[in-house]
Structure 1
Amino acid sequence: MSKYPLLGMTLAELQSVVKSLGMPRFAAKQIAAWLYDKKVSSIDEMTNLSLNNREALKAEYEVGGEAPVDAMCSVDGTIKYLYRVGENIFVEAVYIPDDDRATLCVSSQVGCKMNCKFCMTGKQGFTTNLTANQILNQINSLPERDKLTNVVLMGMGEPLDNLDEVLKTLEILTSSYGYGWSPKRITLSSIGLRKGLQRFIEESDCHLAISLHSPFPSQRSELMPAERAFSITEIVDLLKNYDFSKQRRLSFEYIVFRDVNDSLIYAKELVKLLRGVDCRVNLIRFHAIPGVDLKGADMETMTTFRDYLTSHGVFTTIRASRGEDIFAACGMLSTSKQGENNKN
């Protein structure tokens, strides 16, 4: 029989575990400390639990960490890790060192239902949601774990489509019993699903990044079919109800496609759309994927676009492009690995 993983359990869940095993209530905090502070790999290492309690715990549970099965290293220091989450099922996490910052981009689903035109993960279709164990394991089992300064849920999948497990992960990352991180070290990226957006804002203090990519709803729906269910104008209207000026940051992600959304017409419309919203815009270079006829804009065009937005009151940055030599786009490495295994 397979055992239940402890990694990814909240304190309340650990309290239920120790109660069911007849262990004292305070043992839940002890187990949490071993998992999230000391980051042990086995129950045997939890030495302040009695031998009998460790044996009882081992009979049904395990720590549940699993090292990455593959890695690709870029010349710029970026490393894309592949984690197994099932039989011939893999997800990616990308480690991005940058001077005094080290960011990990983690996945929340295997595949994705959103089918955005520019996203390789969407081309896989949707397989399953990741559990809090599988999401947190990407962080906990990372070889560079102790160097991390930031985590972004921007990898494979739509985090708001798996919100229960994502919120559990965020609780563990930010709680005193868990990793004890400031919410300001964590960003969730979403296309803006109605059913989860409001709940995330109200239940978490982590930063929020909305994938925008076009200020025109008709064009955005071609790039991002989810626009038809919840438009960018509705998303912006909802966000105006919340104060993003202090505790957290609101960003809009904008991939700049050559001759698609890179002219000043689009910049002017963005200024109109985001008027009155305390936010920033991150311009992103497009990483080409197979079978998609989109191309990235050149740096001169992106710089002109940025300068227009900034000069009209919308603070804008150009995100540095990283890892282009290692299957840079989300989903490409996992797609390649699953394809290899299907041939064998």
Structure 2
Amino acid sequence: MAKIPLLGKTLSELGEIVKDLGMPKFSAGQIAGWLYDKKVATIDEMTNLSQKNRERLKETYEVGASSPVHEMRSADGTVKYLFRTPEGNYIESVYIPDGERATLCVSSQVGCKMNCMFCMTGKQGFSADLTAAQILNQIYSLPERDTLTNVVFMGMGEPMDNLDEVLRALEILTADYGYKWSPKRITVSTVGLRKGFERFLRESNCHLAVSLHSPFPAQRRTLMPAEKAFSITEMVEILHRYDFSKQRRLSFEYIVFKGVNDSLIYAKELVRLLRGLECRMNLIRFHAIPGVDLEGTDMDSMIAFRDYLTRHGLFATIRASRGEDIFAACGMLSTARQQAEKE
């Protein structure tokens, strides 16, 4: 039988494990230290546990870390990693170095249910939720893990659709027994799901990024079917109830499509929609994907769009395009691997 990963267990869960195995209560903290501070590969390396207790632990459990099975390196330093889950599915993580900042984009699901028009992951359909262990393994087994300054949940999947496991991973990343990261180093992205949206706002202090892409609900619905169940206007009403002026940052992601949402009519409506919110707008150039009749707009249009927003009180930036030479769009590398295995 497959052993159970210790990676992804919270301190309270580790406490239950050592209790069930008849180990001293303080062993839970020791195991957490080996996992999240020293980042060991095997239980045998947990040398402050007695040999007898290590053997007990190994009967049912393992660390549960696994290295990437493939990587692609861009000329700009970006690295896309492909991980294989125990069930044989593939997920992607992207390491993005930028001066003193190094960001890892992690996945929270295999595939995605949201089916956004412009997203390759959505074209895969949904296969499985990732466990907290599988989410954290993308950090734990990253060759550059010691250089990381930030993590963004913007990879494959919708984090709010797997919120229990995402919140468990966030607890471990920010807890004193875990990675001890400030919530300011972590951003969670969402298209907006009613069942998880307010719960995330209540239970986490991490930054929030909302995928917007159109300020007009009818058009957003054609780009993002999730709009039908939970409108952007409802989301904005909820966001007004929370304070984003201190610890937590609120941002909106806006992919700029040529001839679709790049005119100043859209910029004006964004200013109206988001008026009164302490937030920023990240403008993103579209990475083309197969079978989708959308194009990225030109840089002059993006600059004009950004400048209009900024002049009218909505701070906006143009996100630098990275890794275009290595299947940059989310889901493309895992899709290619899956198709290759079927052939």
Does the alignment reach a TM-score above 0.5? yes
Match in the other structure for 2:209: 209
Measured against aligned partners, the alpha-carbon deviations of 1:209-261 in whole angstroms (never above 9, x if no partner) come to 00000000000000000001000000000000000000110000000000000
AA partner of residue 102 (structure 2): A
* 2:127 pairs with 1:149: no
Map 1:237-276 → 2, pairs under 5 A: 237-276=237-276
Map 1:129-208 → 2, pairs under 5 A: 129-208=129-208
* 2:38 pairs with 1:38: yes
Deviation at 1:88, TM superposition (A): 3.7
Measured against aligned partners, the alpha-carbon deviations of 1:24-72 in whole angstroms (never above 9, x if no partner) come to 1100000000000000000000000001000000011000000000000
Match in the other structure for 1:334: 334
AA partner of residue 235 (structure 1): M
AA partner of residue 75 (structure 1): A
Measured against aligned partners, the alpha-carbon deviations of 1:133-159 in whole angstroms (never above 9, x if no partner) come to 000000000000000000000000000
Give me the whole-angstrom Cα distance separating, in 1, the residues matched to 2:87 and 2:135: 17
Consecutive aligned runs of 4 or more in structure 1 exceeding 4 Å deviation: none
AA partner of residue 70 (structure 2): D
* 2:303 pairs with 1:296: no
Aligned residue for 1:16, secondary structure, equals helix
Give me the whole-angstrom Cα distance separating, in 1, the residues matched to 2:330 and 2:88: 18
Measured against aligned partners, the alpha-carbon deviations of 1:192-216 in whole angstroms (never above 9, x if no partner) come to 1111010001100000000000000
AA partner of residue 308 (structure 1): Y
Structure 1 portions without partners, runs of 5+: none
Deviation at 1:87, TM superposition (A): 4.2
Give me the whole-angstrom Cα distance separating, in 2, the residues matched to 1:232 and 1:178: 35
Measured against aligned partners, the alpha-carbon deviations of 1:61-102 in whole angstroms (never above 9, x if no partner) come to 000000000000000000000000144410000000000000
Match in the other structure for 2:8: 8
CA contact (8 A) 1:283 1:302 kept: yes
* 2:315 pairs with 1:315: yes
Structure 2 portions without partners, runs of 5+: none
AA partner of residue 14 (structure 1): L
Map 1:39-188 → 2, pairs under 5 A: 39-188=39-188
CA contact (8 A) 1:42 1:62 kept: yes
Map 1:271-282 → 2, pairs under 5 A: 271-282=271-282
Aligned residue for 2:85, secondary structure, equals strand
Aligned residue for 1:290, secondary structure, equals coil
Give me the whole-angstrom Cα distance separating, in 2, the residues matched to 1:85 and 1:270: 40
AA partner of residue 119 (structure 1): C
CA-based RMSD of the aligned residues comes to 0.5
Deviation at 1:162, TM superposition (A): 0.1
AA partner of residue 122 (structure 1): G
Aligned residue for 1:117, secondary structure, equals coil
- The number of aligned residues is 343
Deviation at 1:317, TM superposition (A): 0.3
Percent sequence identity over aligned pairs:
73
Give me the whole-angstrom Cα distance separating, in 2, the residues matched to 1:308 and 1:6: 50
Give me the whole-angstrom Cα distance separating, in 1, the residues matched to 2:210 and 2:331: 19
